[in-house]
Amino acid sequence: MDLTTLRRSPSLVAPNNHMGITVIIVESIAASLAIFSFGMRIWARRITRTVLGPSDYTCFFALFFGLALFASTVYTVTLGLGENAIDVAPSKLNALGKVVFAGQIFWMTSNTFIRCSVILFLVDLFPTRKFRLASWSLFGFNITYSLAIILETLLVCRPIAFNWDKSIEGGKCADQENVELAVGIINIVLDVCTVLLPMPVLWGLHMNMKKRLGLCAIFSLGILICIITIIRCKLMMSIDFLNATKSYASVGVFAILEPLLGVVNACLPLMRPVLARFFSKPKQRDAWTSHPTEEYGSRRTGGAVGETDSTRRLRDKGYQLEHVVDITVGRGKVKDEEEGGSETEDEERGGGRGIRVQNSYQVK
């Protein structure tokens, strides 16, 4: 094919489809950030010599379905998303409807995996009984809600093909506008609950106020995703269904930002080892990789042989923990602190006889 033929070839995106071009640009930036963030997450795991866990795998699936949604949305632009419906060929409208239908499932699946990844990370980070109970309850509701919405997407129109082909005789749909609004509202509630989940634990950590506020700020970045969801819901309520290809383009931008920026948000708390390698002093940088790696079962971890998951978390250099040993003899008390701490009164147990040694840890 010569240069003249290439110049005469029709463009995949109409030159006057400015909204469609904007969708592609914005989504490409978001997709690049998501891929980069996940790469940083894996790199951080390698630096700390930590085995990939369930939170990492669920984050990968969130990225996978987020990129599938990105690809499907870009394809819809080539089919006429962003153009006036009157300018789009009927054959393309049917194809566009099919891709949008698949995109709804990609969107829900990606968002579900993101929340699962965050919850699993928090469960691993704060293994207390009450926190686990709250986390697994939210996890179960998240999975149940996701399956229900996917089922609703498949059944909202009968037959299924009526979602994209309104010419089918006898086809009917439920009130899709209100259904979409309800899905968005429940999605916001789940996101807010996921953001608020670790706050009581973070606020109760033994550290100075500056560090405490910094941690809370990092774990609160999910609020940005909630704001994006609110904007998307508001745009959904103002869609002109007679010109859906034009008005749905703006909704598509925010719909793709939710899962892709959600992946970024899920990876941010784990990036510190990578950032430390570039911005910390050499002595501080070496602290992230100085602990030995030994065999644990059939996997490589940063802990010693025979350590439990909880003990191995305490040895993780990613969470600089302060070790405090309390030794109580009878009614008296001797306190040995490696790096400081506050003394507390001993509680009488079993008549106060014997020696009791208590190990506790607090985050620096």
DSSP for 166-225 reads TTSTT-EE--HHHHHHHHHHHHHHHHHHHHHTTHHHHHTSSS-HHHHHHHHHHHTTHHHH
Find out whether the peptide bond into 159 is cis, omega within 30 degrees of 0: yes
Amino acid at 189: V
pLDDT at residue 125 tops 90:
no
Which conformational region is residue 11 in: left (phi greater than 0), alpha (psi within -120 to 50 degrees), or beta? beta
Q: What is the mean pLDDT of residues 69-94?
A: 88
Reduced to 3 states (helix: H, G, I; strand: E, B; else coil), residue 157 is strand
Structure tokens at 301: 């971890």
The pLDDT mean for the chain works out to 76
Pick the CATH number of 10-278 from 1.10.1060, 1.10.150, 1.20.1070, 2.40.128: 1.20.1070
pLDDT, position 83: 87
* Number of residues that make up the chain: 364
pLDDT, position 281: 60
pLDDT, position 308: 41
Report the candidate in 106, 22, 115 with the shortest Cα–Cα distance to residue 71: 106
Cα–Cα dist 119/134, whole Å: 10
Report the candidate in 316, 230, 262 with the shortest Cα–Cα distance to residue 117: 262
Residue with tokens 């931008």: 253
Cα–Cα dist 228/255, whole Å: 8
pLDDT, position 116: 95
Q: What's the distance, CA 20 to chain centroid?
A: 27
The residues of the chain that CATH labels 1.20.1070 are 10-278
pLDDT digits 0-9 by tens, 147-196? 999 998 888 888 888 888 888 888 888 877 788 888 888 889 999 999 99
Residue 88 and residue 245 in contact, taking contact as beta carbons nearer than 8 Å: yes
Q: What is the mean pLDDT of residues 16-27?
A: 87
Q: What is the mean pLDDT of residues 321-341?
A: 42
pLDDT digits 0-9 by tens, 238-279? 777 777 888 888 888 898 999 999 999 999 988 888 888 877
